A and B are shown apart, each in its own frame.
Chain A
Amino acid sequence: MDDRGRSTGRRADRLFSFASQGAGVTVLVLVTLVCVFLVSQAIPALARNEASFLTSREWTVGGDAPRFGILELLWTTTAASVIAMLVAVPVGVCVALFITEYAPQWLRRPAGNLVDLLAAVPSIVYGLWGLIVFRPIVRPIEDWLSSRLSWLPIFEPTGITGGTIFFIGFVLAIMILPIVTAISREVFAQTPTTHKEGALALGATKWEMIHTAVLPFGKPGVISAAMLALGRALGETIAVTFIVSTLAVGSDWTWSLFNGGETFASRIANNAAEFDSPQKTGAFIAAGLVLFILTFVVNAIARVVIERRKAFTE
């Protein structure tokens, strides 16, 4: 190899290394920009806000004296997402156990693909289906619960006939089920065969084997799956936007799950037409920023759990 060849090789090498580092730095800069822009646009709007941002339920973003707060958005978003998680995690874990432990060998791959198909359905389709087909099915269940358990504050009847928090939670549960299943399936499949065989050799039934070997091993994975799914549920936009029922201005506060109310994402999406002044846009961006922080915290918890598990297994 002559000198020229060697030097071009080196230069190309440096260029390639530079390009890949550049791409990485681009991602870093992008995320930083997202934070910087959201914060910088939100601050002026927040400064002019005359109501308490965290504890107010008002939402008047225009005019000289804007008053807006996120209390209602925060409640609806978290309540619906938590319902979704409470429904989706047990079912998702059972489906994952079915696919890894119970299904006959020939069924495992198709069963996994079928559940993954749920993730391939665009969320706008969930919105349509929820609004038109699923809603009439859930109505009677809500009526039954609110007539029998109306003494519980969360089941108090409200007279809302459109999308309630309870209903949004169920639609979200279906949407996050494939995430829970996919991650749980992966960790359950990694259970050391020696653990499982050991349990069986000691006379455990299949369920006892799962209970003593598979579930304890997969627990951190399931927790992080639940957190990632919660993050997805918190930020879900279009399906929720289709089914929420907006509350009348000045309606009474209630803890009932059968109340309507908007989530962060649906409030922003529903009012996209209002983004005509920096003041108004800033208010919505402030709401978006809170949503960003919420999902960030939830995702960070999931990451920490996963990292700790790695530290244990290695």
Chain B
Amino acid sequence: MTATSASRAGAELSGPFSFASRTAYHVEAADVATEEPPKLTRGSAIRRVKDVVAKVVMWAAFGLALIPLAWILYTVVSNGVELLLASTWWTNSQRNINATDAGGGAVHAIQGTLIQAGVTGAISVPVGVFTAIYLVEYGRGRLARAISFMVDILSGVPSIVAALFVYAVWVTTLGFQRVGFAVCLALVLLMIPVVVRSTEEMLKLVPNELREASYALGVPKWITITKVVLPTAFSGIVTGVLLGLARVMGETAPLLILGPYTKNIATNLFDGYMPTLPTMINQDRTELGIDTAVDRMWASALTLILLVLLLNLIGRLLARRSGVRH
């Protein structure tokens, strides 16, 4: 019995993974020839305390991460929900509504945001998906590596730099006005890498057997890609596109530089200013002393969050239903 407790103390002293102490125990046990098998220990007090502390820290970190989320959502919802419940919010614009007037509508800004997101998607999805197809199905060697590297660079470009670039091309060099389409071009730069990377991941998950089976039947490569590979990865690609769109809709920096706000409904991408939700928030932000403007600001923030969350939700549901169908 004394040998058992001594060796147990030895095991505790020399740490959790010491084989030496275990071996020593067996040698001693053989000498003393106790009939009882060794008892399982739960480790020393200090080790158990560390374990519990770690557990508490992890739970606390998670709680800490949820605080800002709950706080932000509560702030925006409690301040903004009232205006959203008024029907004029979804049918009117801000035309003829001054900062001191209450309410008004956001339909002009919602339209602008959706139009710009739509056009951005329409340009960046084909480019992004085809680039991913090139990288996965065709690309070998130096060109493919260079393109992959460029996509990495593009995904690290800050939105304000993308906006400056489009400004340098569109306004300074080509001499055009600041219109909605210029904003779309900046957003395209931000969205392409998201689409390429998510599509690439999905295409890589498509099992090679499917491609080989298709080639074995004599099907040309492009039909294999369009009829076998892309449909298999379809829902994953859609998820990536929706998440990319959600990111692009919340971007404000390009709008500050390229897309000035107007209170009227404007749907022409190539002529005149185009209102969007972020610029509408920014407009009311300049009147922080006026309650009606602040209310409107929170309401437009809530509208923007709802739009972005809706896209995220659809994307996630699609992703859960099927990543890649086997």
> How far is B69's CA from A296's CA once the two chains are assembled, in angstroms?
29
Chain B: interface residue total (CB-CB under 8 A) = 94
Is B37 engaged at the interface, CB distance under 8 Å to the other chain? no
List of B residues within 8 angstroms of A238 by Cβ:
252-253, 256, 278
Tell whether A203 pairs with B16 under 8 Å between CB atoms, given A122-B304, A234-B158.
Answer: yes
- Residues of B133-147 contacting chain A, CB below 8 A: 133-135, 137-139, 143-144, 146-147
Q: Does B159 lie within 8 Å of A117, measured CB to CB?
A: no
Q: Does B161 lie within 8 Å of A235, measured CB to CB?
A: yes
List of A residues within 8 angstroms of B72 by Cβ:
121, 125-126, 129
Q: Does B43 lie within 8 Å of A122, measured CB to CB?
A: no
Q: Does B127 lie within 8 Å of A27, measured CB to CB?
A: yes
Number of A-B contacts (CB under 8 A): 265
Q: Does A98 lie within 8 Å of B54, measured CB to CB?
A: no
Q: Does A17 lie within 8 Å of B68, measured CB to CB?
A: no
Q: Which of A156-164, A206-214, A250-258 is the contact stretch?
A: A206-214
Report B310 CB to chain A, min CB distance, Å. Answer: 10
- Partner of B257 from A101, A114, A272 at Cβ < 8 Å: A272
List of A residues within 8 angstroms of B50 by Cβ:
205, 207-208
Report B223 CB to chain A, min CB distance, Å. Answer: 8
List of A residues within 8 angstroms of B172 by Cβ:
41, 278, 281
> How far is B158's CA from A306's CA once the two chains are assembled, in angstroms?
21
Q: Does A237 lie within 8 Å of B69, measured CB to CB?
A: no
Report A288 CB to chain B, min CB distance, Å. Answer: 4
> How far is B55's CA from A101's CA once the two chains are assembled, in angstroms?
10
- Partner of A118 from B68, B127, B157 at Cβ < 8 Å: B68
- Residues of A29-45 contacting chain B, CB below 8 A: 30-34, 37-38, 41
List of B residues within 8 angstroms of A134 by Cβ:
71
- Residues of B92-134 contacting chain A, CB below 8 A: 126-131, 133-134
List of B residues within 8 angstroms of A101 by Cβ:
58
> How far is B250's CA from A237's CA once the two chains are assembled, in angstroms?
12
Q: Does A41 lie within 8 Å of B168, measured CB to CB?
A: yes
Indicate the size class of the contact surface on chain A: 35 or more
Q: Which residue of B lies closest to A202 (CB)?
A: B17
Tell whether A24 pairs with B156 under 8 Å between CB atoms, given A120-B246, A204-B17.
Answer: no
Tell whether A16 pairs with B222 under 8 Å between CB atoms, given A98-B59, A242-B285.
Answer: yes
Q: Which residue of B lies closest to A263 (CB)?
A: B160
Is A292 engaged at the interface, CB distance under 8 Å to the other chain? yes
Is B26 engaged at the interface, CB distance under 8 Å to the other chain? no
Give per-residue flags for A1-22: 1 if the beta carbon is below 8 A from chain B beta carbons, else 0. 0000000011011011101111
Question: For the complex, would chain A's binding face be called helix, strand, loop or mixed by DSSP majority?
Answer: helix
> How far is B282's CA from A177's CA once the two chains are assembled, in angstroms?
25
Report B84 CB to chain A, min CB distance, Å. Answer: 15
Question: For the complex, would chain B's binding face be called helix, strand, loop or mixed by DSSP majority?
Answer: helix
- Partner of A128 from B153, B222, B223, B285 at Cβ < 8 Å: B285
- Residues of B66-94 contacting chain A, CB below 8 A: 66, 68-69, 71-73, 75-76
Is B324 engaged at the interface, CB distance under 8 Å to the other chain? no
List of B residues within 8 angstroms of A204 by Cβ:
16-17
List of A residues within 8 angstroms of B159 by Cβ:
235, 237
25 A-B pairs in the complex with CB atoms less than 8 angstroms apart: A10-B220, A23-B131, A23-B133, A24-B134, A24-B144, A25-B147, A33-B165, A102-B58, A111-B62, A113-B316, A122-B250, A122-B278, A124-B250, A133-B71, A177-B65, A202-B17, A205-B50, A206-B55, A207-B50, A237-B159, A265-B160, A281-B167, A285-B168, A292-B157, A292-B158
Residues on B facing A (Cβ under 8 Å):
16-17, 43, 47-48, 50-51, 53-55, 57-62, 64-66, 68-69, 71-73, 75-76, 126-131, 133-135, 137-139, 143-144, 146-147, 150-162, 164-165, 167-169, 171-173, 189, 192, 196, 220-223, 225-226, 246, 249-253, 256-257, 278, 281-282, 285, 288, 297-298, 301, 304-305, 308-309, 312, 316
Given contacts A30-B192, A204-B16, 17 further A-B pairs with CB under 8 A are A24-B131, A24-B134, A34-B157, A91-B65, A92-B65, A124-B301, A125-B250, A125-B304, A129-B75, A134-B71, A202-B16, A204-B17, A205-B47, A235-B158, A237-B159, A268-B164, A298-B156
- What 7 A-B pairs are tightest by C-beta distance, nearest first? A235-B158, A122-B250, A23-B130, A94-B61, A16-B222, A299-B156, A207-B54
